[in-house]
Amino acid sequence: MRGKGAAVTSQSDELPRIPPPALIGDIGGTNARFALVTGDAMTRFPDEQGADYATIDDAIAHALEKSDTAKPRSAVLALAGPIQGDAVPLTNSPWVVEPKRLIKRFGLEEVILLNDFEALSLALADFTEGDLDFIGDARPEPDRPRVALGPGTGLGAAALLHVRGMWVPVPGEGGHVDLAPVTPRDFAIWPHIEKPHPTGGVSGETLLCGAGLVRLYRAVAATNGAAAPLATPADIAAAGLAGSDASATETLDLFATYLGRLAGDLALVFVATGGVYLAGGITGHIAPALKSGRFREGFVDKYPHGPMLERMATAIITKPYAALDGIAALARNPMRFGVEPGSRVWRA
């Protein structure tokens, strides 16, 4: 254990050791979920709301104060954003994560940072059919590339590859690739889409997230010359599924189509015959729309590779807190996963 006043190292080139007990966390733009892993046991703490704390340090301290578990010796935290440098800002949160500061405050021996969807991708190695709600009849091939994609506060994406007996996560920012209009209806709607950044175009996250669902609804209503009385993703989803608002119904159809197109793009990049898996806070709420056929239509409409995509499985992840399960799997057996060390491991 690091003594008081000892130096804290920067990023390490050594492989993760993750001494137990390990504090693990899945930190999104809205919620922060923590647990403590010791051997095969995982003790979950109540969820924390990011808006309730000025820093992630304070959220961790509050979670640990409410628990009578052992003091953690290491931490593995999954963050909604790219992992770069010694101070990592979250994409959709004011929090900045500083591993050196966490080591000093909590007396940790090691801190590892992962991208949030990279952490979710780790869980793909152990999913069973009971953890999934399949969209279509295709089923995954074992030990083949897998992709995780999910609309929530933002839009996350990552892949998991099986290489020389080891699962290798591939983090990325695939949610920020551009979306383009394809059909005449798309071209009619596109001029009405509110751009979150004046100089930016329409990215996946522009439309395929909670705020994006609202943007798409307003654009559809404007194209229809109709009012847009619904103001929240939950209200739009409920009205769209119930068929009580024509613009909301079309919005869900288009959301499913556009998510399918992006999922198909990522499936082609990785030749994801191990499957494409949907997570995020929105997917479970709009599962009927995703299973209506429009998602798969968008997914396979990739000439000349439609037949290959038809054989790729797509599914909604139904297992709760799957990202924490993925992080816990890494904490229990780091050598099972090819997690790149240098850019994400800090030691006391």
Tell me the DSSP string of 151-180: ESSSEEEEEEEEETTEEEEEE--GGGSBP-
CA–CA gap between residue 15 and residue 223 (Å, rounded): 53
Phi/psi of residue 191, nearest 5 degrees: -65, -15
Which whole number is the average pLDDT over 12-16?
65
pLDDT confidence of residue 106: 96
pLDDT of residue 9: 60
Higher pLDDT, 185 or 12: 185
Give the pLDDT score at 10.
Answer: 60
Count of beta carbons in the 10 Å neighbourhood of residue 321: 16
pLDDT of 2 above 60 = no
10 lies in some domain: no
Residue 158: inside a domain: yes
Same domain, 44 and 146: no
Q: What CATH number does the domain containing 72 carry?
A: 3.30.420.40
Asked whether residue 111 falls in the same domain as residue 243, the answer is: no
Bridge partners of residue 168, in order along the sequence: 161
- Give the H/E segment covering residue 317: strand 314-317
Together in a domain, 157 and 302: yes
Q: What per-residue confidence (pLDDT) applies to 31?
A: 86
Kindly state the average pLDDT of the residues 6-27: 77
Count of domains forming the chain: 2
My answer on whether 201 and 341 are in the same domain is no
In whole angstroms, give the CA distance from residue 289 to residue 139. 20
**Collapsed DSSP state (helix, strand, coil) of residue 33:** strand
Q: Going by C-beta distance under 8 Å and a sequence separation of 6 or more, which residues neighbour residue 39? A: 20, 332
Q: Decide if pLDDT at 343 tops 50.
A: yes
Q: Are residues 159 and 103 in the same domain?
A: no
Place of tokens 């929240």: 232
pLDDT at residue 14 greater than cutoff 70: no
Residue 26's domain comprises 22-115+322-347
Cα–Cα distance, 47 to 303 (Å, whole number): 44
Contact 168, 145 (CB under 8 A): no
pLDDT at 7 over 60: no
pLDDT surpasses 90 at 133: yes
d(CA 129, CA 312): 15
Higher confidence at residue 69 or residue 304? 304
- Per-residue pLDDT at 91: 77
Average pLDDT value for residue range 70-84: 89
Q: What is the mean pLDDT of the chain?
A: 91
Of 21-30, 123-132, 145-154, 247-256, give the range with the top mean pLDDT: 247-256
In the predicted model, is pLDDT for residue 147 greater than 70? yes
- Residue 74 structure tokens: 């290491």
Query: Has residue 337 been placed in a domain?
Result: yes
5 occurs within a structural domain: no
**Tens-digit pLDDT profile for residues 230-287:** 999 999 999 999 999 999 999 999 999 999 999 999 999 999 999 999 997 899 999 9
3-class SS of residue 28: coil
Both 170 and 98 in a single domain? no
Rounded to whole angstroms, the Cα distance separating 266 from 175 reads 10
Same domain for 71 and 138?
no
pLDDT value at residue 171: 85
Q: What is the mean pLDDT of residues 290-295?
A: 96
pLDDT at 92: 73
Mean pLDDT of 304-313: 97
Give yes or no: residues 227 and 197 share one domain: yes
Other beta carbons within 10 angstroms of residue 337's beta carbon come to 18
30-41: average pLDDT: 91
- Looking at the fold, whether 106 and 186 belong to one and the same domain comes out as no
Question: Where is average pLDDT lowest: 48-52, 146-150, 208-212?
Answer: 48-52
241 and 167 belong to one structural domain: yes
Q: Are residues 286 and 157 in the same domain?
A: yes
Q: Which of 135-149, 161-175, 178-192 is the least confident region?
A: 161-175
- pLDDT single digits (tens) 100-128: 999 999 999 999 999 888 899 999 999 99
| C-alpha to C-alpha distance for 297 and 331, rounded to whole angstroms | 38
* CA 300 – CA 298 distance, rounded (Å): 6
pLDDT of residue 28: 80
User: Is the link from the previous residue into 16 a cis peptide, with omega within 30 of 0?
Assistant: no
* Residue 77 placed within a domain: yes
How far apart CA 59 and CA 25 sit, in angstroms, is 11
